[in-house]
Structure 1
Amino acid sequence: MFCAISGEPPQQPVVSVKSGHLFEKRLIEKYLNENGKDPISGDSLTADDLIQLKIEPTNVPPRPPTLTSVPSLLSTLQSEWDSLVLETHSLREQYVNGRKDLAHALYQVDAAHRVIARLMVERDQAREALSNINAATGAATTDSSHAAQTENGDVEMQEETKHALPLHVTANIDTVAAALTAERKKRKVAEGSATAATIRAFGVHDTLTSFHSASPAGVNAVGLSTANNLLLTGGNDKHVQLYDRDAGKTIATLKGHTKKVNALQWREKEGCKTVVVSGGDKRVRVYGEEEKGWKMIGEFKNRSSGEVTGVKVHPTQQYVVSVGTNQTWSLHDLDTLETLLDIGPVEGEKGDFEYTALDVHPDGGIFATGTQAGLVRVWDLKSAKMAANFEVSSSHGAVSSLSFSENGYYLAAAYTGSASVEVFDLRKLKSVHTYTGDEGQSAPTVVAFDPTAQFLAVGGSDVRILANKTWEQLARLEDNTGEIESLVWGNAGKQLIATGMDRAVRVYSASDSA
């Protein structure tokens, strides 16, 4: 018996009651599921029309004719072996090609990573160049003031730059900036400088009390000589005191201001010691040391209106920048007592120009100002133009203090009425960290980076010292009884000097580094 569909002996034979044909059960059921009719006669047929036949289970189906002899079996096995060998060869080729593709992809990824790393380095260098406002920026401004040649070959004089500095001044600024930039890039933290462990061990090393008058009380500004031996303080009593730390006594009291002292700066050049002081009486006065002692040697006449809120000596040690509430900033020559620049509000620029804070970049190419409305602006000194503008949340008040890090990358700002300190990255031109004090703590009044660019001191109701980059709080000093108004670092960051409304000068240091 043979299946009408396969032509081979069936394993489970069934027969159609309608046509009488014999089928293999699995084949006819599959056919009926798909077509529903007899495959031979074409008549309608269902599974119920099939009758299963009983066969002897010991019967063995005959072998196919092709496998009934040894040669046919060998031929079949040879064919199977050849197919297996060809399949193995094909798989091996696919494996080799897969490895090649993977190696090529990995090489491309590695090359892409190297290109991205190089581009990131170039980006950071470009941002650093932008933040430092290199010589090329100033050159463009200078070039615009020179003569331009027409198509006919004639020379046509351009309009003179409105805020041009004398060439010898720009050359001096460029020379010093280039030297300081090159030195800063190579500079490493000097051996023996303060470490995080040193800062954590900070405590009160010395307290100098009863500085300045008790009415009105308060020490608003503090400065320190290069040798760390002369301490300068300016108070609400309108005076500046020079204190010799080695001798342990006040060696001079500088008078002349008719209102409180807002800011002061120490300047040493070629052995000449000078103190620059600004106050609420709209004046910037310069005091110098002579044979008979200290006395005022001059003042800058352009400051005729508005309180002078800040002064900073330029890294050249020849110039000083001043800002005030009269919406101007000025550049002065300390040797000639001449005002070189006097810049008012920028036309078309939004925001106020009532300046409340100031700091000069360590390289001297740029400086930063803070305003009553909480705006922080970065200026290019030579071109007298704004290089960047930082504006934070409206919840911040007037800028009370600014400080550049010694490496030139960061600018910290404290705000009146806000418990937060903003840290701006000059390479990214945005705020990269906001430090917020504990709940209930008064607003920070002053910020100061240390000389090694490792730490940031924040003064307010107490003094807190943060680690640069991580901004972890390393120390909290709470010995003052009044608001902190001014901070200055000394001894390569191993000392921090704080003054405030309690008329005391506190020197903080670790016991083993005092």
Structure 2
Amino acid sequence: MSKQYLTTHTIDHAHPTDIFSLGTTPTQILSASGSSSIRIHSTNNPDFPLSQTLEKVHKLGCHHLTTSRNGQVAASVGFGGEVKIWGVQDAQWSESRKIVDGSKAGEIWAIALSEDGQYLAATSFDGRINVWDYLADGAKIREFETKGSFGMSIDLSADGRFTASGHENGGIYIFNNDTGRLFQSLPSLVKPVRAVAFSPGGKLLAAAGDSKVIALYDVSSGEQVANLTGHGAWIFSLDWSNSGEYLLSGAFDGKAKVWSIEQRTCVATHTETEKTLWSVKWLPKTGRNEGFATAGANRSISFYREATGG
């Protein structure tokens, strides 16, 4: 069974350079790029108006941005190595903390927040995985070691108990933040893993990258339970729908795909641009309609809504 999504709006030239990362909250979408500013648009209005610009946040540009699922905390990391934590009040964002350790240029790469925003996890160029506790004055509470391969992607389970990372050498690891130990070393994808994402309930982990395949793993057993095939280019971004029924992916060739987890198949493919999609995100659900946003090398943000439902 296929699903149909319609392009509802596009913010052209949302940034002057490639948009590398998107983050969503119940009412806003945040975007970060190779330029120094972070921009925030409202999702309560069908025109997605610009509601705030955080100026000169990262001097050399921002390569990763993430938001907590509860929408109260955001984090960003720049090419200069600086990591900043953001809080929101009355729909306005302001800097609340910096992560000062491990902040050399290029040292910290991918970042992720737990559902409540308490924990921040990050990968490093030399394979280390660090976890900080936002409520403990930003103290580093865990430092995990892998085989030294560049950590290209990371995610935290909703409850903050587990950290998953994907690496340049194809390695995929799940760490237990409570015990400080490796929980699962998953079957390698052989090629670089550019995206990992826990399902909302934490039962499954999706991983993808240069293999052009999305692998699904059972977190508790470490077993690979499915391969989702259909992309013809490197996959850069993954995002689960709030219910966990669907998985969204974005690739190097500009294609965004929606996958049914129950059917283990692609149910929708959209191409707004032939340029790279660096980031794809589901939007807050309105009524029965689902929607998502895409952004990348065309410097625009495109919004889609399901064609049926009310």
Bin of the TM-score, shorter chain as denominator length: 0.7 to 0.9
How far has the Cα of 1:294 moved from its partner?
2.0
In the other structure, the counterpart of 2:257 is 506
Question: Residues 331 and 298 of structure 1: is their aligned pair in 2 closer, same or farther, counting only changes over 3 Å?
Answer: same
| Structure 1 unaligned regions, length at least 5 | 1-203, 209-244
Matches within 5 A, 1:67-466: 205=2, 245=5, 248-268=6-26, 273-289=27-43, 293-334=47-88, 335-345=91-101, 354-382=107-135, 383-394=137-148, 396-397=149-150, 399-416=151-168, 418-437=169-188, 441-460=190-209, 461=211, 462-466=213-217
Question: Residues 255 and 352 of structure 1: is their aligned pair in 2 closer, same or farther, counting only changes over 3 Å?
Answer: closer
Q: Give the aligned CA root-mean-square deviation in angstroms.
A: 2.6
Question: Residues 421 and 254 of structure 1: is their aligned pair in 2 closer, same or farther, counting only changes over 3 Å?
Answer: same
Contact 1:262 1:308 in 2 (8 A): yes
Of structures 1 and 2, the larger Rg is shown by 1
Which is helix-richer, 1 or 2?
1
Match of 2:32, as an amino acid?
A: S
Q: Distance in 1 between matches of 2:229 and 2:155?
A: 22
Question: Residues 318 and 361 of structure 1: is their aligned pair in 2 closer, same or farther, counting only changes over 3 Å?
Answer: closer
Q: Distance in 1 between matches of 2:264 and 2:109?
A: 38
* More divergent stretch after superposition (475-484 vs 256-265): 256-265
Contact 1:282 1:308 in 2 (8 A): yes
Work out which structure has the larger RCO, using CA pairs closer than 8 Å and 6 or more positions apart in sequence: 2
TM-score by length of 1: 0.47
Contact 2:119 2:160 in 1 (8 A): no
Give the paired residue count: 260
Contact 2:58 2:78 in 1 (8 A): no
How far has the Cα of 1:392 moved from its partner?
1.5
Deviations for 1:33-80, whole angstroms, at most 9, x for unmatched residues? Answer: xxxxxxxxxxxxxxxxxxxxxxxxxxxxxxxxxxxxxxxxxxxxxxxx
Q: Distance in 2 between matches of 1:496 and 1:292?
A: 24
Contact 2:128 2:144 in 1 (8 A): yes
Deviations for 1:230-282, whole angstroms, at most 9, x for unmatched residues? Answer: xxxxxxxxxxxxxxx3xx223232533121111101111xxxx2110111223
Question: Residues 274 and 257 of structure 1: is their aligned pair in 2 closer, same or farther, counting only changes over 3 Å?
Answer: same
Contact 1:327 1:344 in 2 (8 A): no
Match of 1:482, as an amino acid?
A: A
Deviations for 1:372-397, whole angstroms, at most 9, x for unmatched residues? Answer: 23221111113022111112222x12
In the other structure, the counterpart of 1:165 is none
Q: Distance in 2 between matches of 1:292 and 1:499?
A: 23
Question: Residues 362 and 337 of structure 1: is their aligned pair in 2 closer, same or farther, counting only changes over 3 Å?
Answer: closer
In the other structure, the counterpart of 1:201 is none
TM-score by length of 2: 0.75
Match of 2:183, as an amino acid?
A: V
